[in-house]
Structure 1
Amino acid sequence: MHRPLTREAYSIGWICAIQIELAAALAVLDEVLPESPFGMIQGDSNLYYFGRIKNHDIVITCLPAGIMGIAPATMAATNMMRSFPNVRQGFVLMVGVGGGAPNLRDGHDIRLGDVVISQPNGPHPSVVQYDFGKAIERGQFLQIGQLDSPPRILLCTLSTLKARDPEDFGRTIREQAQQFGAEDQRFQCPQSPDYLFMADHFHVPDESLEESATCSRCDLTKAVARPERNANYPHFHYGTIASANQVMKDGVKRDMISEETGALCFEMEAAGLMNGFNCLVIRGICDYSDGHKNKSWQPYAALVAAIYTKELLKLIPEAVDPEDAFGRDNVVRAVKWLAADSPQEEYDTRISDTVDGTCRWILQRKEYKDWKTEDRGAQCLWMYGKAGTGKSVLAANIIKDIKDSTFPPCVFYFSIHESLAKRDPLSILQSWLSQLATTGSCAFKTLKSMREGNEERTIAVPKKGPSPTPARSFRADCGPE
Structure 2
Amino acid sequence: MPCQGPSGREDFEIALVCALETEFEAACLVVEQFWDGGEDFYGKAAGDMNSYRTGRIGRHNIVLLLLSGMGKVRAAHAAANLHSSFTRLRLVLLVGGCAATPRVDDAEILLGDVIISTGVVQYDFGRKYPGGFVRKDSARDNLSKPCKEVENILAALQVSNMKSLLAERTAGLLLRLQNTTAKHGYGIKYQYPGIREDKLYEATYRHKHHVAITDCSVCSQSDNIVCDAALQTPCEDLGCEKSHLVYRKRLEEKLQICQSGDISHQNPAIFFGIFGSGDMVMRSGEDRDALADREKVIAFEMEAAGIWEEVPSIIIKGAFDYGDSHKNKRWQAFASATAACAARAVIEQLAWTDRGESRLLSRGIGMEIPFIS
TM-based fold match above 0.5:
yes
Residue identity opposite 1:148 in structure 2: S
Q: Distance in 2 between matches of 1:279 and 1:195?
A: 31
Q: Distance in 2 between matches of 1:142 and 1:70?
A: 17
Aligned pair in 2 of structure 1 residues 155, 297: CA closer, same or farther (>3 Å)? same
Alpha-carbon shift at residue 270 of structure 1 (Å): 0.4
Alpha-carbon shift at residue 137 of structure 1 (Å): 7.9
Structure with more contact order per residue of length (Cα contacts < 8 Å, sep ≥ 6): 2
1:62 matched to 2:66? The reply is: yes
**2:79–2:310: 8 Å Cα contact kept in structure 1?**
no
Aligned pair in 2 of structure 1 residues 93, 209: CA closer, same or farther (>3 Å)? same
Aligned pair in 2 of structure 1 residues 214, 310: CA closer, same or farther (>3 Å)? same
**1:100–1:289: 8 Å Cα contact kept in structure 2?**
yes
**2:32–2:56: 8 Å Cα contact kept in structure 1?**
yes
| 1:181 equivalent in structure 2 | 178
- Tell me the alpha carbon deviations over residues 107-153 of structure 1, each in whole angstroms, 9 at most, x when there is no partner: 2411100011110xxxxxx1000111234686463333221223333
Q: Distance in 2 between matches of 1:278 and 1:300?
A: 27
**1:98–1:267: 8 Å Cα contact kept in structure 2?**
yes
Pairing 1:138-217 to 2, within 5 Å after superposition: 139=132, 141-144=134-137, 145-165=141-161, 169-184=166-181, 185-191=188-194, 193-204=197-208, 211=232, 214-215=235-236, 217=239
Residue identity opposite 1:243 in structure 2: S
- Tell me the alpha carbon deviations over residues 258-309 of structure 1, each in whole angstroms, 9 at most, x when there is no partner: 1111110010010011123211111100000111111111111111111111
| 2:116 equivalent in structure 1 | 117
Residue identity opposite 1:176 in structure 2: L
**1:212–1:295: 8 Å Cα contact kept in structure 2?**
no
Q: Distance in 2 between matches of 1:210 and 1:147?
A: 33
**1:115–1:235: 8 Å Cα contact kept in structure 2?**
yes
Structure 2 residues not aligned, in runs of 5+ = 182-187, 215-228, 255-264, 357-373
Superposition TM-score, scaled by structure 2 size: 0.77
Identity across matched positions, percent: 30
1:44 matched to 2:44? The reply is: no
Aligned pair in 2 of structure 1 residues 176, 142: CA closer, same or farther (>3 Å)? same
**1:51–1:59: 8 Å Cα contact kept in structure 2?**
yes
Which of 246, 255, 276 in structure 2 is aligned with 1:224? 246
Which of 2, 5, 8 in structure 2 is aligned with 1:6? 8
- Which of these two proteins has the greater Rg computed from alpha carbons? 1
Please identify which structure carries the higher strand content: 2
Pairing 1:392-403 to 2, within 5 Å after superposition: none
Task: State the secondary structure of the residue aligned to 1:237.
Answer: strand
**1:200–1:251: 8 Å Cα contact kept in structure 2?**
yes
**1:128–1:146: 8 Å Cα contact kept in structure 2?**
yes
**2:54–2:61: 8 Å Cα contact kept in structure 1?**
yes
**1:212–1:296: 8 Å Cα contact kept in structure 2?**
no
- 309-318 or 167-176, larger mean C-alpha shift: 167-176
**2:207–2:231: 8 Å Cα contact kept in structure 1?**
no
Q: Distance in 2 between matches of 1:49 and 1:93?
A: 15
| 1:263 equivalent in structure 2 | 297
Q: Distance in 2 between matches of 1:212 and 1:13?
A: 37
Alpha-carbon shift at residue 172 of structure 1 (Å): 3.4
**How many residue pairs were aligned?**
311
Output the aligned Cα RMSD.
Answer: 2.5
| 2:24 equivalent in structure 1 | 22
Please identify which structure carries the higher helix content: 1
Aligned pair in 2 of structure 1 residues 63, 212: CA closer, same or farther (>3 Å)? farther
**2:72–2:302: 8 Å Cα contact kept in structure 1?**
yes
1:92 matched to 2:92? The reply is: yes
| 2:78 equivalent in structure 1 | 76
Residue identity opposite 1:92 in structure 2: V
| 2:351 equivalent in structure 1 | 317
**1:14–1:94: 8 Å Cα contact kept in structure 2?**
yes
Q: Distance in 1 between matches of 2:304 and 2:310?
A: 12
